[in-house]
Structures are given as C-alpha cells and as structure tokens.
Chains A and B, each alone.
Chain A
C-alpha cells in the first residue's frame, strides 16, 4: 500500500510537471522590454547606449566597394545610425529591423564593415545598416537596438526607432555605397 502510494505520488508529480511545462509561457518567447521609442532624427536611449537614426533610404542595390553589388528583387533598407555607448562595452549583437507583423530582419552581413560592432564606453559609432526586406512588409517597420544578452535576458532595455516608412513604399532603382563605420569620442 505504501509503495503503491509512493508510485502514484511520483506519477502525479510527473503529470503536474508536464502540465506546468505546457501551460507556463516559454520564457524564451516571453521577453519583456522597456522600450525607448523615437522617430528618425531623434535620440533614444537605454542606460547603456543612446542612438538615433539620421537617414533612411529604400533602394534596389547596394555596393560594398568591391565585388558585385548586392542587388535584390525585394528592397534594401539602408539606415545610418549614430550610437553613443555610455557605461560599458556594447557589442550590438541583437540589432534588427522588425516589421509590423513581427518578422525580424538582421543586417546583411555583406556590409559588416559599415555596421555596428563592439564599441567602448565614451565613444560614438556611426554605422550604416543594410536590411533586405519584401517591400510589402516595410509599412511601419522599426529598427531595434536590443540588449546584447537579449536571447537570455527576459527583462532588458532596448531602443526602437520608427523608420518612417508608410505604404506604399517606393523602392528607388539607385545603387548606394555605405561608408565604412567610424568611431569618434562622444
């Protein structure tokens, strides 16, 4: 009798654990952010970084200065960003363009030398980010500078900039050449 109760108790605990695993929200998908919102041209900040988007262009082609230019059948969103790092090193490892329907686009790695990267406190990095996105997803798209530990940190501060794109978004046939990133003292 005692052994049977023990086994039943164990089964009950297993069932409870399974129910909890199914019912409780996945912490990896239940990220909480304290957003610092801004429009193009305005500064937005977290305790670690202050940033602004200075220009936004939507083009068909971007040139790295060597090899073939990246030409798309969709759209390339080219955003110039100033990011002033405040109190500790920032990697900018979770920067993305988010569309109104929640799709996330990482900067194209072909333009990594122009993009955001490790920056020490006290310095401002001017970078150009290139995103490849279907044109019909550009309406109300925003640029997000999320915390470096975003994938494991469910509670963090992040910058979100409305890129000012509204439907219908025109894709310019011109080719742009992003400048290499520069770093200056803040």
Chain B
C-alpha cells in the first residue's frame, strides 16, 4: 500500500542497494580494541618509574613484598662452614604481604651490581637464614640471606681479590600478569631503585 505524500525520490531511496556493513568492520574492530584497553585500565596513568636510592635498613614497599636491605658480607664459606668460592652474601628483612603463605622470594626481585666490576654471578640463590628454611607467612617479617658468587664463575681455589668497598643491591617490583590459565601470576618489572651497601670482608682464606 502506498503511503500518502511519499515522493518519487523517497521511493528511489527505498530502492537503494543494501548498505555494505563490511566496510565498517575495521572501524568496529578498532573501537572494540580501544574499549577493551580502556576497560582493562590500559589508558590509566602509569606510576612514575625511575632510579631511586634507598638507605640501608629502609623498608622498601613493593607490590607484594616489603624488603629492607640489612648488610652485605663477602664470604668464602657456606652457611654450614664448608669452603666455597668468594661469595657476596646479602642480608635482608623480608615481609610477604599476600593473603596466604607463599614459598619463595621471586627470582629477579633482588640483584647485585658491583660498581666498577667485576660483575657477580647473575644467579642469586637463597640460603637458610637463622632457623628459617621455608616459606613466607602473611605480614610476618623474617630474615633472608641471598648469595651470588663473585666474580661470576669464580672457584674455591681462585686467587684472592681485594673486596669491593660497596655493592649496589638493586630492587625490582612485580607487575600482575594474570592470564586465563593462572590468576595469580606476576612478572618482575624494571629496577625500582637500589641501596648502596658497604661490604664487610668476612673471608677466612
């Protein structure tokens, strides 16, 4: 039925070929991606990141940990007294701030730099500190000892080198990296700052 007042031009418009929605798909895709980025906080202002300097004993609050660097000692025996290569041993006070007990301090959270070199081993390992051998309980501060062989690759029989006067204990933070498989996943970020710590030479040989 023809409606009254409808012109020939209106009828011509009505006879147009269907709109080609396909040309809008890229635009729709971009809008969708931007919306997802906005919803997930991708446009939020990032926290300022830059080299900061902390002092010995200062509690540094990270996303899930609070770390205070206590001291650094150069040793040539293990914590059980056996001979070892020259090793930088870092004393920390660490507090886990999560909701449930966790096992280990994440790799990369604490690293060592010797100004002027030579560099210590990149692998920093935890050793028993006092009576503690296991994990970290929520909001309970406990001592931690980390060790790195210095210089990297040194052996127990290597020639004695002068101890470095100080080392930089570099602290990094973590960034949540939740995915569809693991909801409690974090990755280490770039360094947050460092502590200049005098080295106590505790070698016996």
Contact = CB atoms under 8 A, between A and B. Distances in A.
Interface stretch (A36-44, A45-53, A66-74, A166-174): A66-74
Nearest to A4: B22
Contacts of B43: none
Contacts of A26: 183
Contact of A64 (B21, B131, B180): B131
Contact of A18 (B22, B36, B183): B36
Interface string B8-22: 000000000010111
Interface residues of B, number: 26
Interface in B172-198: 180, 183
B137 interface: yes
Size class of the contact patch on chain A? 35 or more
B101 to A, nearest CB: 4
Given A4-B25, A68-B130, A15 B32 contact: yes
B28 interface: yes
B133 A103 contact: no
Interface stretch (B53-61, B119-127, B138-146, B155-163): B138-146
A137 to B, nearest CB: 8
A29 B101 CA distance: 16
Interface string A1-43: 1011101100100010010010000101100000000000000
A56 interface: no
A132 interface: yes
24 contacts: A1-B22, A3-B22, A4-B20, A4-B22, A7-B25, A8-B21, A8-B25, A15-B32, A21-B180, A28-B183, A64-B131, A68-B131, A70-B130, A70-B132, A72-B140, A74-B140, A96-B101, A104-B101, A104-B138, A106-B101, A108-B134, A110-B132, A110-B133, A133-B140
